[in-house]
Amino acid sequence: MSREMNLILMGPPGSGKGTQAVRLVEKFGIPQISTGNILREAVASRSPIGLRAEAIMTKGDLVPDEVMIEIVRERLARSDCKPGFVLDGFPRTQKQAAALDKILIDQGREPVRVIALTVADEELRRRILARGEGRADDTEETAARRLEVYRRDTQPVLDHYRVQLRSVVGTGALDDVTKRILGELGAAA
């Protein structure tokens, strides 16, 4: 592949991001970079940034942007990310989005492509409540709250990426959604 496939897959809870991310990873042979996984890796590595993150998490606090940004910077510098990556859970804020842009410039990388999966609220609530592995707290109220928090926190990130943002309908057969995403990326199915 001559062109890097640097992707951010966004969408509310229940939109199918995780399923589609796995398909894109397989299609392009690129890693899925999950913030949860790279935080655990950083802590396990006992690196200075990992120890800092561990101290913060041990107190029950959220890892601040500057620590998360540094962990993402280190992860994207690894050789398996050279052909590209699918980011999962990052960026969550406009500050993180601006930092990601800078990381890619500093590393001589191509800008990210952003795919936002769109699904009607009624369908999202149905999916959240019907998930086989459902969370214990997945009730009508918590589903509505999670969707509200996603929209509030994510809108600034979507606005940041408005030039490279492509919206894809996230309903229908899985293969159809994947084909729509690949079409927006200019890739054959």
Q: Would you give per-residue pLDDT tens digits along the chain (189 residues)?
A: 458 999 999 988 889 998 999 999 999 999 999 888 888 899 999 989 999 999 988 888 888 899 999 999 999 999 999 999 999 889 988 899 999 999 999 999 999 999 999 999 889 988 888 875 555 666 788 888 888 888 888 888 999 999 999 999 999 999 999 999 999 998 876
Q: What is the pLDDT of residue 1?
A: 42
> Would 189 be classed as within a structural domain?
no
Among 92, 95, 109, 166, which one carries the catalytic annotation? 92
CATH number at residue 67: 3.40.50.300
Number of domains composing the chain: 1
Among 23, 75, 146, 180, which one carries the catalytic annotation? 146
User: Cis peptide before 91, with omega less than 30 degrees from 0?
Assistant: yes
17 has catalytic annotation: yes
Among 82, 131, 145, 151, which one carries the catalytic annotation? 131
73 has catalytic annotation: no
Among 78, 82, 135, 151, which one carries the catalytic annotation? 135
> Would 177 be classed as within a structural domain?
yes
Residue 46's alpha-carbon distances to 40, 42, 127, in angstroms, are 10, 7, 38
Q: Which domain holds residue 10?
A: 5-181
> Would 52 be classed as within a structural domain?
yes
- Judge contact between 124 and 53, C-beta under 8 A: no
92 has catalytic annotation: yes
**Would the pTM count as exceeding 0.75?**
yes
152 has catalytic annotation: no
> Would 162 be classed as within a structural domain?
yes
Largest CA distance in the chain: 47
46 has catalytic annotation: no
CA torsion 11-66-75-61 (nearest 10°) is: -70
Show the tokens assigned to 95: 């500050």
Q: Per-residue DSSP letters for 81-119?
A: GTTEEEEES---SHHHHHHHHHHHHHTTPPPPEEEEEE-
